[in-house]
Structures are given as C-alpha cells and as structure tokens.
C-alpha cells in the first residue's frame, strides 16, 4: 500500500514512516520542517517539502494517489496555542481541512488522525479517563484538535469517509525535540546531558500518562486495519508526576543538582491518565513498554 504521512519528519510520524517502510509499504511525506528534522526522515520516503495549508497539496494527492493518510503534521505546543490561538487554528483546523478535502477528493481508504487524549478532556471527573468522558478543553490546541475530530465524524456520516482517531496521551522516546516547549522527558534528559538544571513548572505534582513511541507506532499500524470511524485513547492508564520523572532521570544520569521550580503555565492540567480498554478490545492494542524501560531507551538515544 501507499501511505501519505503528514509531519513525517517529526518525532512520532518519522517512527511510523520507518515501520511502514520496514514492512514493505510505499511512503510519501509532506512536511514543512517547522519543527521536524531532516535527520529523522527515512531516505526511502518520497518527500514533499510543503505546508499542509498550501493549495498545492492537491497536486501531491493527484500525482501520488495514496491509499491511506496518516495525519500527524500540526502545531503541537499547548503553550504556543495559548499565545497564538489564530496560528493554531490556521494549521490544526484549516491545514487539516486541506488534508481532509484532498483525501475525500482522491478517494483515500482511511485517514488516521493524531489527536490528543492529554488535553481534549480537560480536568478529569474520574481517572483513568475513557473516551466517553466529557470533552472540556482548556487550551486552543485541544479545541482545534477536537474540532477536527468533529469534521472527521461529519465527513464519515455525510460523505462515507473512513477514519480512525487516536487520542495519544504524552508520547516520549527517541527523536522528540528536546528544545521544544513540550516533551518533559526529552527536555530534562537533554538538560542533564548539558549539565543544566531542568525547570519544573508548578510544584512537580502534576501528573501525565506517558506512552512510549514504539507502542504508539504499533497502535497506528493496527489502525490501518481496525477501528473504522472510532476514537481510541492510546495510553498506559498510569499517572506519573513530574517530580518522579526528574528523580528517575537524576538517578539514571547521577545528576548532581536539583530542579528549579517556576510558576505553573496556563492551559496545563493538574492530573490526567487515560484508559486504553477500548483500544485493547477493538484494535487489539495494549502498551508493552514500561516507563522505566522507556526512560532507559530514551536516555540511551540522547546520550549517544
């Protein structure tokens, strides 16, 4: 099969590209390298260096005629979405709509969309949060991701388009940008390698559900075949707080200093963990890598 992967030079989608190619598929990547990196990109993938908002995206669909679309390109920072909500709308809604329109026009078999379980639900009423939990987003990034989910639903009902929505919790692992505003494991790891004290926003008791990149790739591979028009949390169901991550990495590196504490950032939740029961029963997916194993693999990559 041929798969068009948007954002294929980024952290998550570059690993998906690798797996698709490993399994003998053809891959076309659309990426504008705004946060992606040429080093991440598999040389066997065909690259179109392009913004997903660009009207020329149609020409890519027209000449490539992909069977599937894996949509991962986007504005990925919660903090930036709070600061520049219009920009988030432009990329995450208008750009995504461009991908959707072309997918419909060129009869793509399915779109797999990378949504966000970590932010669409808002502050949870119960834990772990399942897919039936109310969605009460507290940042523009989550509002825009959720809006695009609704477009997928609408295009499914009205035009018969097929899709699977994967709501990732906090993904971590090799290739995550350690210089961005998100991705605490990568950021702390790089700081410790550089001998710089990491900053913890808030008191460090805020929890997240950390899922390792290889498990996220497996979920994507299963979604090509299963989960038609479904929404699935891709997560571990386990809460880990920031102080614990700091302590684990400190021990891993023998880092001599403590963290610096600073004010909590707007738009960020206090607690979250997501149930993956639905993905387990309908996609046949469950996470395999424990946080301790994942941290070791990640540290090995950055320290290489």
Ligand X SMILES: NC(=O)c1ccc[n+]([C@@H]2O[C@H](COP(=O)([O-])OP(=O)(O)OC[C@H]3O[C@@H](n4cnc5c(N)ncnc54)[C@H](O)[C@@H]3O)[C@@H](O)[C@H]2O)c1
Q: Which of 3, 12, 146, 272 binds ligand X (CB under 6 A)?
A: 12
CB of 257 to ligand X, least distance (A): 26
Residue 204 near residue 164 (C-beta atoms within 8 A): no
- The residue with tokens 């995206």 is 57
Question: From the candidates 141, 155, 172, 210, which is the catalytic residue?
Answer: 141
CB of 146 to ligand X, least distance (A): 12
141 is annotated as an active-site residue:
yes
Among 221, 234, 213, which residue's Cα sits nearest to residue 166?
A: 234
> Which of helix, strand or coil describes residue 219?
helix
The first and second tokens of residue 110, run together, are: 């399915």
169: alpha, beta or left? (left if phi > 0; alpha if psi -120 to 50): beta
Q: Between residue 172 and residue 191, which ones bind ligand X under the rule CB under 6 A? A: 177
Q: Between residue 181 and residue 240, which ones bind ligand X under the rule CB under 6 A? A: none
DSSP string across 263-283: PPPTT--S---B--HHHHHHT
Residues 6+ apart with CB under 8 A from 296: 252
Pick between residue 12 and residue 249 the one whose CB is nearest to ligand X: 12
How wide is the angle at C-alpha 152 spanned by C-alphas 150 and 156, nearest 5°? 115
Containing 90, the helix (H) or strand (E) segment is none
- CA 192 to CA 196: how far, in whole Å? 6
Instruction: Give the x-and-dash track for 61-90 against ligand X (CB under 6 A).
Output: -----------xxx-x--------------
Note whether 28 binds ligand X by CB under 6 A.
Answer: no
Note whether 91 binds ligand X by CB under 6 A.
Answer: yes
Q: Which of 164, 170, 218, 240 binds ligand X (CB under 6 A)?
A: 170
Pairing outcome for strands 110-116 and 210-212? unpaired
The first and second tokens of residue 194, run together, are: 């550089």
Pick between residue 90 and residue 250 the one whose CB is nearest to ligand X: 90
Q: Which of 3, 5, 11, 217 binds ligand X (CB under 6 A)?
A: 11
Note whether 33 binds ligand X by CB under 6 A.
Answer: yes
Pick between residue 12 and residue 273 the one whose CB is nearest to ligand X: 12
Interface stretch with ligand X, choices 9-17, 220-228, 244-252, 281-289 (CB under 6 A): 9-17
Binding region for ligand X (CB under 6 A): 7, 9-13, 30-36, 51-53, 72-74, 76, 91, 95, 114, 116, 118, 168, 170-171, 177
**Would you name the residues annotated as active-site residues?**
141
């Amino acid at each position: 099969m041929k798969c068009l992967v948007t954002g294929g030079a980024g952290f998550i989608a570059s690993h998906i590209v690798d797996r698709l190619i490993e399994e003998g598929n053809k891959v076309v990547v659309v990426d504008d390298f705004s946060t992606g990196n040429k080093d991440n990109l598999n040389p066997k993938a065909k690259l179109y260096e392009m913004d997903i908002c660009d009207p020329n995206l149609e020409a890519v669909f027209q000449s490539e005629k992909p069977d599937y679309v894996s949509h991962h390109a986007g504005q990925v920072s919660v903090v930036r979405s709070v600061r520049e909500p219009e920009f988030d709308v432009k990329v995450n809604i208008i750009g995504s709509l461009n991908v959707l329109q072309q997918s419909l026009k060129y009869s793509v078999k399915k779109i797999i969309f990378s949504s966000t379980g970590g932010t669409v639900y808002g502050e949870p009423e119960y834990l772990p949060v399942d897919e039936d939990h109310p969605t009460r987003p507290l940042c523009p990034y989550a509002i825009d991701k959720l809006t695009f989910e609704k477009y997928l639903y609408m295009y499914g009902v009205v035009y018969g388009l097929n899709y699977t929505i994967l709501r990732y919790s906090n993904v971590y692992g090799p290739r995550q940008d350690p210089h961005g505003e998100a991705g605490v494991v990568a950021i702390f790891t790089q700081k410790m390698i550089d001998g710089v004290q990491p900053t913890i926003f808030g008191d460090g008791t805020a929890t997240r559900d950390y899922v390792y990149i290889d498990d996220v790739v497996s979920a994507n591979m299963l979604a090509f075949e299963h989960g038609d028009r479904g929404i699935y949390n891709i997560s571990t169901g386990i809460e880990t707080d920031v102080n614990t991550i700091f302590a684990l990495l400190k021990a891993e590196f023998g880092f001599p200093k403590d963290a610096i504490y600073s004010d909590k950032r707007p738009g960020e939740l206090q607690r979250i963990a997501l149930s993956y029961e639905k993905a387990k029963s309908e996609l046949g997916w469950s996470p395999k890598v424990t946080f301790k194993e994942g941290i070791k693999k990640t540290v090995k990559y950055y320290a290489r």
